[in-house]
Amino acid sequence: MTYRTTAVRILAAASALAVLAACGSSGSSSSSGTTGGAPVHGGNLVIARSQDSQSMNNTTVFDNESIWVFEQIFQPLYTVTPSGKGVTPDLATSYKVSADKKTYTFTLRQGVKFSNGQPMTSKDVKFSIDQSRAAAQGWGYIDTAIKSVADPTPSTVVVTLKYPWAPLLADLSLFSNAIVPANYGGKSETQFYTAPVGTGPFKWDYWHKGSALKLLRNPFYWEKGKPYLNSVTWTDVPSDNTRQLQLKGGQAQVDEFPAWSTVASLKSTPNVTMHLFPSTRTDYLGLNEKAKPLQDVHVRRAISLAINRSALVKAVLFGNGKPANSLFPPQVPYYQAATQGLQYNLAAAKAEMAKSSVPHGFSTTMLVPSGFSDWTTVSTIVQSELKPLGIKVNIQQLDPNTVSTDQQSLKYDMTLTYWTMDIPDPDELATFAVDPAAGSKSFFTAYDNPTVVKDTHMAEQTLSTSARQSLYNTIQSQSAADAFMAFLYYSPYAYATTSSVHGFYVTPLGNYHLENVWLSK
Amino acid sequence: MAFVGRRLLQLIPVAFGVTFIVFFMVHLIPGDPAVSILGIHATPRAVAILHREWGLNRSLPAQYWLFLDRLLHGNLGYSLYYGQSVTSLVLSHLPPTLWLITYAGVLSVLISVPLAMIGASRPDALRDHVVRAVPLVGLGMPSFWLAFLLILIFAIKVQAFPVSGYGSGFFGHLRSMFLPSLTAALALSPVVIRSLRASMLTVLGAEYITTARSKGVSGHRLYLRHVLRNAVIPAVTVLGINIGFLIGTTVIIEEVFAIPGVGQLMINSIFQRDFPVVQGVTLVFAIMVVLLNLLADVAYAALDPRVRFD
């Protein structure tokens, strides 16, 4: 019948379109090399991530997706060691400190050039740190101890402090203090950050917002023979499943943060390597001391004692983490492993409740950011674990933006939150978490223990390692005893890569050095 | 032309209404864009600085008036998140979405027309039941599930298409957008097939078809010239309306296939409380739906000379 012929023709047209589409360009080949060996040059590394960057302005931006990109372009004087617990020279080679511990003289690395070919000098360093200090709504607070920066010679920079400051090198290793050309190379700040120039291993190519951002190899990079890659592309792939499929299909070589539920299967997927890098991420249950009866230390201690952290690690992280015992994670200097914190002990929890102002329990609300399955699981488990204490928890899921706003204005009873370190020193976290006057209202809990606050500020200006350790031990044990938050668990950074990726390493602070990464053929 | 002009004029109140509703609805959602950007470092001072910078410290009517004033000058404002003009952001995200909608429309026609013809050729025969029943699976399956199924089969197993993305160049887009468009087309086709099949059955029973047959017109010529052309008009309406709905569902498809279209831009902007972008994208969506309906109306006249616009 002719109509059949017509139908078949149209179907054929559809098939032809499919075939044409399929043949339109060459198929993406999956890199499947598994051998290590000597590094080879070339290739484009594709990192699939769930979110786009926000801005390349290293002095004002807080989101990790921006930070991890511009860290490939800009470099600081000192950088974080692979252990995440110290610093190592980067654009500086050494420093001398004055007898009063208030003047640091840095010697700059010779032969360093920006990606536009211009040499880096002390003028650039002075300009960069001054810009970072001036960033009022940015990272300026990290440099509050700095009184002035001077550039006496092209290869020397002098940083003068208001007072001795133990975390100075850690603060200078922060990306906000990374070096950009003086006066932004003659551009306005806005113009400069649309196509930034730095001394790092990669230079700017393009940014299609909401889609992809690409960096190219910096031919002027100072480390001989590096970087190995020709380019790096970060693609925005919101769906966990799609990122994983891109990895399997060879369309991406790195899957940033695969879901915990998929870690086990990724470990056994051919041509895929599952990495679990130790991290500084710590998840907490925040307890608002302005919300009755959470101002009662016995209630807070009871809550903390009733939470089975091992069960959380098993259910939420599928075993890929550790119960938290301290405000600090193990990858932070001065972490005290001996601090037991308030670990699961139902009998002790009941005893604390009996001593509290609400011995028969109470009703409360837990504010939980929606869209995060991990936190949904945590809230459900905590809800059931607090039942034996007579605490009825109503879970209120709101979108993350609303939760943040409510947390910061203390409009909540209990909430879930987390922290990752920005510098290899506990000072930033300690101040943020326990100082009610620091702007963060003690991690937005209104916790106020004058002894802990005093020790925190004393530790900032104490240069002796052992004395600092002693102060931070007190801070950790006292804040745990006060149970201003329930420290829940430590989790690693999960990255899945194809087995063709070599040298990919993430520090506990989340930074990665792509100059060391290479792709096998 | 007068009809088209009138319909285009109707766009103005529609666009105005959309901007009004969206502007105030977006501001009703709790949450603060400054908090979204500053994250855990959102001190009251830092938030206040950003509010002043963005004009969010003004009253809502003042902000809306500013938005309208800019709009009349062809300026949709500036993204709070990216600090880039909304017009350039929307324009850069529009091509993937237009590709998706057009490609899905073409594929759904290529799927629907032959299947409807096969079904209509033998009403209530096995082939007719198959044609009516099987495509319903596509309608019943959630788009995201169908999308992953297609990816697993055609991108991972067969490796004929990329897992996701928009591709580059015409053939790159053709290849990369095939699976997302097929996902949309499979959801769109069942309604079109049923509508077209029903119309064809009606037309096949018409006297002019009998006349045409008695004159010796048959087969290919009969179906293409007489049956399909007359039967396709209701299907065009159905297709037009459903493509309008499809614009809404592109959001999910763009998310699963990581297509940098306006749907994805919209979702991200809502989470970031990037008010100007949400307003801009909604306006674009509204205009697209109105234009698609207009296109469907215009298509009637092209397909059926008896249809005239009043």
Q: Which DSSP string corresponds to chain B? A: -HHHHHHHHHHHHHHHHHHHHHHHHHHHSS--HHHHHHGGG--HHHHHHHHHHHTTTS-HHHHHHHHHHHHHTT---B-TTT-SBHHHHHHHHHHHHHHHHHHHHHHHHHHHHHHHHHHHHSTTSHHHHHHHHHHHHHHHS-HHHHHHHHIIIIIIIS--S-SS---SHHHHHHHHTHHHHHHHHHHHHHHHHHHHHHHHHHHHTSHHHHHHHHTT--HHHIIIIIIIHHHHHHHHHHHHHHHHHHHHHHHHHHHHTT--SHHHHHHHHHHTT-HHHHHHHHHHHHHHHHHHHHHHHHHHHHH-TT----
Supply the pTM of this predicted model.
0.84
B193 inside 8 A of chain A by CB: no
Instruction: Name the residue with tokens 């010529």.
Output: B221
Interface contact B156-A137, CB threshold 8 A: no
Interface contact A21-B178, CB threshold 8 A: yes
Interface contact A27-B260, CB threshold 8 A: no
- Residue A448 clears pLDDT 50, i.e. is over it: yes
* CB contact residues (below 8 A), chain B span 68-107, against chain A: 81-84, 89, 92-93, 106-107
Task: Report the gap between the CA of A190 and the closest CA in chain B (Å).
Answer: 9
* Beta pairing partners, A367: A396, A415
Cα–Cα distances (Å) from A413 to A216, A300, A393, A396, A427, in that order, read 48, 11, 10, 11, 27
Residues of B in contact with A25 (CB under 8 A): 167, 169, 171-172, 175
Retrieve residue B7's tokens.
Answer: 């319909």
B10 inside 8 A of chain A by CB: no
Task: Report the gap between the CA of B172 and the closest CA in chain A (Å).
Answer: 6
* CB-based contact B237:B303 (threshold 8 Å): no
* CB-based contact B77:B279 (threshold 8 Å): yes
Q: Write the single-letter amino acid at A183.
A: N
Residues of B in contact with A398 (CB under 8 A): 30
Task: Report the gap between the CA of B234 and the closest CA in chain A (Å).
Answer: 19
* Intervals of chain B under pLDDT 50: none
pLDDT-derived band of residue A14, with 50, 70 and 90 as boundaries?
Answer: very low
* C-alpha span between A194 and A502 (Å, rounded): 30
Q: Write the single-letter amino acid at A502.
A: H
Given this model, what pLDDT does residue A25 score? 38
Pick among B81, B175, B192 to test the A interface (most A CBs inside 10 A): B175
Residues of B in contact with A238 (CB under 8 A): 255, 258, 264, 267-268
Interface contact A22-B161, CB threshold 8 A: yes
Nearest CA in chain A to B115: A7
Mark A369-399 as b/e (b = at least 16 C-beta within 10 Å): beeeebbbebbebbbebbeebebebeebbbb
Interface contact A249-B92, CB threshold 8 A: no
Retrieve residue B116's tokens.
Answer: 């409807």
Greater confidence (A63 vs B30) lies with: A63
* CB-based contact A83:A511 (threshold 8 Å): no
Given this model, what pLDDT does residue A389 score? 96
Retrieve residue A131's tokens.
Answer: 């810009």
* C-alpha span between A138 and A58 (Å, rounded): 9
Pick among A1, A5, A6, A193 to test the B interface (most B CBs inside 10 A): A6
Mark A478-512 as b/e (b = at least 16 C-beta within 10 Å): bbbebbbbbbbbbbbbbbbbbbbbbbbebbbbbbb
Given this model, what pLDDT does residue A83 score? 93
Task: Report the gap between the CA of A241 and the closest CA in chain B (Å).
Answer: 8
- Residue A112 clears pLDDT 90, i.e. is over it: yes
Given this model, what pLDDT does residue B74 score? 80
Residues of B in contact with A241 (CB under 8 A): 148, 256
* C-alpha span between A153 and A144 (Å, rounded): 24
* C-alpha span between B258 and B265 (Å, rounded): 11
Interface contact B84-A17, CB threshold 8 A: no
Distance of CA B230 to the CA centre of its chain: 26
Cβ contacts below 8 Å, chain A against chain B, sum to: 190
Residues of A in contact with B267 (CB under 8 A): 238
Given this model, what pLDDT does residue B206 score? 81
Interface contact B43-A440, CB threshold 8 A: yes
* CB-based contact A427:A145 (threshold 8 Å): no
Task: State the SS3 of A411-447.
Answer: CCCEEEEEECCCCCCCHHHHHHHHCCCCCCHHHHHHC
Which residue in the set A5, A14, A48 is minimally distant from B111, CB to CB?
Answer: A14
Asked casually if ipTM beats, i.e. exceeds, 0.85, the reply is no
Given this model, what pLDDT does residue A18 score? 47
Which of these ranges, A143-157, A291-305, B33-47, B241-255, has the smallest mean pLDDT? Answer: B33-47
Given this model, what pLDDT does residue A28 score? 34
Task: State the SS3 of B205-257.
Answer: CCHHHHHHHHCCCCHHHHHHHHHHHHHHHHHHHHHHHHHHHHHHHHHHHHHHC
A512 DSSP assignment: B
Interface contact A210-B118, CB threshold 8 A: no
End-to-end CA distance of chain A: 55
Interface contact A211-B166, CB threshold 8 A: yes
Segment A392-407 shows an average pLDDT of: 88
B278 inside 8 A of chain A by CB: no
Interface contact A1-B45, CB threshold 8 A: no
Nearest to B8 by CA among B211, B297, B280, B208: B297
Residues of A in contact with B256 (CB under 8 A): 239, 241-242
- Residue A26 clears pLDDT 60, i.e. is over it: no
Which residue in the set A3, A246, A399 is minimally distant from B223, CB to CB?
Answer: A3
B31 inside 8 A of chain A by CB: yes
Given this model, what pLDDT does residue B308 score? 60
pLDDT tens digits, A115-130: 999 999 999 999 999 9
Nearest CA in chain B to A437: B43
Instruction: Name the residue with tokens 């028969």.
Output: A360
Interface contact A401-B264, CB threshold 8 A: no
Which residues are CB-contacts of B26 (< 8 A; sequence separation ≥ 6)?
Answer: B270, B275, B278, B279
% of chain A exceeding 70 in pLDDT: 93
* C-alpha span between A231 and A511 (Å, rounded): 18
Residues of A in contact with B43 (CB under 8 A): 439-440
B40 inside 8 A of chain A by CB: yes
Nearest CA in chain A to B251: A238
- Residue A34 clears pLDDT 50, i.e. is over it: no
ω into residue A227 within 30 of 0, thus cis? yes
